């Protein structure tokens, strides 16, 4: 079930809200758990049992780790939990990738399993792993209530596309959380902003990408337009989903951490990754990079640490070589920034730093947006005029005029300019008075516009479902 669907917005969510707020506090987690299981079952009936088994495994391993630690151990149950968690992820997500490459390397004909990827498996697996590792480290208390733990893993606001919510972030809120009118209204506002970003901007930009694929005319400019529109589509798609998840969490009394912080204003690639998909970046930092020694190791070992983390980051996104190359591309850039570009970037004007970062990130999305390594190479050649195609053409100009306003709004919306203007307006007495009435009207108008888009049956996928 998509957040951006009529069934979710007008049937599922209102029903859950009514049930949630009429039951006593001790039953609220029960309502959330069974609502979340239904939410997942609605879109993925085949694999709901897999999610439950994974969650129960994490719960039992947490108890085992706590018991073993009391006797001075804990490594065996930790290793067991990591093995069982990753085994499911590797089997469903990467088996065919390994078979394909084995067939190419060994010239064999092993048939592919063609397994459907369980929605959200990458996200809930990492949440379970973070829990058992934190219990082992002593950073989190073991959860002895199985219902509360299942609620944490299966919580529908962040279940299928993140952000990756760590147990320690909502540990106390699972036991007791406050529900206020202010929190509820803030949650609704945040959800509506995310929904509008997703449906109005991301979906429209996705249509432009479809037009590019179907276009008879390919030009250098059209390759650039397609790449930029895809980059903005991914941003508004995923950050919009994160906004909706954070907003829904707020409505139900949870405070999820931010997942995006205007990454396109970054002055370096390293800063970009502190602002983009924050929950994933910090997960790999805390559970892979730092345990390997981080940057407190000799230079060559640090190179290895960086390459391992970014290989895994790319591989996490998909079982294709272009995703691995995408991750290693960032590893190389981060090393170059530290040892080659650092002096130049520190002295360069801010505009130069931002242009460099945007260019590097834009190229990365060419790798990210392909179904194969060969397609990535072809698209890069197209962008840099190596396909013997014209710079522009009639069809290119047509689509640029048709979608130019949307691209401009998206580009501005990907910066903090609008948010800053809104805050400054609310700081003024007259502005605060006006916004008290104008904001609800604006959100209602956005809801009506979104509903119109959805009823019309417009292009409406969530890109990160495939991860």
Residue-wise pLDDT for 57-100, tens only, equals 999 999 999 999 888 888 999 999 999 999 999 999 999 999 99
Single out the residue of 376, 295, 303, 287 nearest to residue 335, CA to CA: 303
Give 269-324 pLDDT, tens digit per residue. Answer: 999 999 999 999 999 999 999 999 998 999 999 999 999 999 999 999 988 898 99
Residue 466 has pLDDT above 60, yes or no: no
Give the Cα separation of 11 and 19 in Å (integer): 12
Q: Is residue 137 part of a domain?
A: yes
**Where is the domain boundary, 177, 209, 240?**
177
Q: Is residue 322 part of a domain?
A: yes
pLDDT for the residue 461: 59
CA separation for the pair 264, 261 (Å, rounded): 9
Together in a domain, 160 and 227: no
Q: What is the mean predicted confidence (pLDDT) over 263-273?
A: 95
Same domain, yes or no: 338 and 421? yes
Same domain, 121 and 201: no
317 is annotated as an active-site residue: yes
Q: Is residue 356 one of the residues assigned to a domain? A: yes
In this structure, are 232 and 359 located in the same domain?
yes
The number of CA neighbours under 13 Å toward the Cβ of 178 is 4
Pairwise CA distance, residues 240 & 196, whole Å? 8
Give the number of other Cβ atoms within 10 Å of residue 437's Cβ.
Answer: 9
How far, in Å, CA of 260 to CA of 282, rounded? 12
The CA distance from 435 to 438, in Å, is 5
Q: Rounded to two decimals, what is the model's pTM?
A: 0.92
- Domain range spanning residue 238? 183-455
**Domain shared by 296 and 157, yes or no:** no
Q: Do 151 and 282 belong together in one domain? A: no
Length of the chain: 467
Quick one: average pLDDT of 100-126? 92
Confidence of residue 423 (pLDDT cuts 50, 70, 90): confident
- 466 assigned to some structural domain: no
User: Which of these ranges, 238-242, 262-266, 449-453, has the smallest mean pLDDT?
Assistant: 449-453
Q: Report if residue 1 sits inside a domain.
A: no
Distances in whole angstroms, Cα of residue 350 to Cα of each of 175, 347, 356, 449: 46, 9, 10, 38
CA angle in degrees (0–180, nearest 5) for 311-312-318: 95
Among the candidates 116, 143, 177, a domain finishes at: 177
Residue 216 has pLDDT above 80, yes or no: yes
Please give the biggest Cα pair distance in the chain.
Answer: 74
Distance, in Å, from the CA atom of 187 to the CA atom of 462, rounded to the nearest integer, reads 21
Residue 132 sits in the same domain as residue 195: no
Q: Are residues 247 and 306 in the same domain?
A: yes
357 occurs within a structural domain:
yes
Here the tokens at position 69 are: 């630690």
460 assigned to some structural domain? no
* Domain end (from 152, 177, 202): 177
Which are the contacts of 148, defined by CB distance < 8 A and separation ≥ 6?
29, 174, 175
Residues 171 and 232 in one domain: no
**Same domain for 348 and 234:** yes
Contacts of 65 (CB under 8 A, 6+ apart): 74, 77, 78, 81, 132, 135, 136, 142
Q: What total of structural domains would you count in the chain?
A: 2
Whether residue 242 sits in one domain with residue 109: no
Residue with tokens 């139900």: 252
Q: Out of 32-36, 240-244, 380-384, 425-429, which region has the weakest mean confidence (pLDDT)? A: 425-429
One domain for residues 209 and 312: yes
* Catalytic residue, candidates 61, 211, 277, 317: 317
In this structure, is residue 352 part of a structural domain? yes
């Amino acid at each position: 079930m998509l957040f951006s669907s009529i069934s979710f917005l007008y049937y599922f969510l209102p029903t859950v809200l009514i049930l949630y707020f009429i039951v006593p506090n001790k039953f609220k987690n029960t309502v959330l758990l069974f609502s979340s299981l239904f939410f997942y079952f609605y879109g993925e009936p085949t694999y709901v049992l897999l999610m439950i088994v994974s969650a129960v495994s994490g719960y039992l391993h947490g108890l085992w780790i706590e018991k073993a630690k009391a006797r001075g151990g804990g490594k065996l149950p930790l290793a067991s939990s990591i093995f069982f968690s990753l085994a499911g992820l590797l089997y469903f997500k990467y088996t065919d990738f390994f078979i394909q490459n084995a067939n190419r390397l060994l010239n064999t004909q092993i048939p592919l399993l063609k397994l459907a990827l369980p929605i959200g498996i990458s996200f809930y697996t990492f949440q379970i792993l973070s829990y058992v590792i934190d219990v082992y480290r002593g950073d989190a208390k073991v959860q002895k209530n199985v219902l509360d733990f299942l609620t944490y893993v299966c919580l529908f606001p962040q279940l299928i596309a993140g952000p990756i919510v760590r147990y320690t972030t909502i540990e106390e809120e699972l036991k007791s959380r406050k529900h206020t009118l202010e929190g509820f209204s803030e949650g609704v506002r945040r959800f509506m902003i995310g929904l509008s970003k997703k449906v109005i901007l991301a979906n429209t930009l996705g249509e432009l990408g479809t037009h590019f694929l179907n276009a008879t005319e390919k030009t250098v400019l059209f390759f650039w337009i397609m790449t930029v529109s895809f980059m903005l589509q991914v941003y508004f798609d995923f950050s919009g989903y994160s906004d909706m998840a954070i907003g829904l969490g707020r409505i139900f009394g949870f405070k999820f951490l931010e997942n995006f912080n205007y990454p396109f204003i970054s002055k370096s690639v390293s800063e970009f990754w502190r602002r983009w998909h924050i929950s994933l970046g910090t997960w790999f930092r805390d559970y892979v990079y730092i345990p390997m020694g981080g940057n407190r190791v000799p230079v060559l070992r640090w190179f290895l640490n960086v390459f391992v983390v970014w290989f895994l980051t790319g591989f996490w996104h998909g079982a294709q070589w272009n995703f691995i190359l995408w991750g290693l591309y960032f590893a190389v850039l981060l090393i170059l920034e530290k040892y080659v570009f650092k002096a130049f970037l520190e002295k360069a004007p801010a505009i130069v730093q931002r242009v460099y970062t945007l260019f590097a990130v834009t190229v990365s999305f060419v790798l990210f947006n392909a179904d194969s390594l060969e397609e990535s190479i072809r698209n890069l050649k197209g962008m840099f005029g190596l396909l013997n195609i014209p710079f522009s053409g009639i069809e290119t100009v047509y689509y640029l005029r048709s979608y130019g306003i949307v691209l401009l709004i998206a580009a501005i919306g990907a910066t903090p300019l609008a948010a800053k203007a809104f805050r400054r307006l609310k700081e003024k007495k007259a502005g605060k008075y006006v916004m008290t009435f104008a904001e609800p009207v604006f959100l209602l108008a956005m809801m009506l516009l979104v509903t119109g888009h959805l009823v019309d049956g417009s292009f409406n996928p969530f890109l990160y479902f495939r991860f």
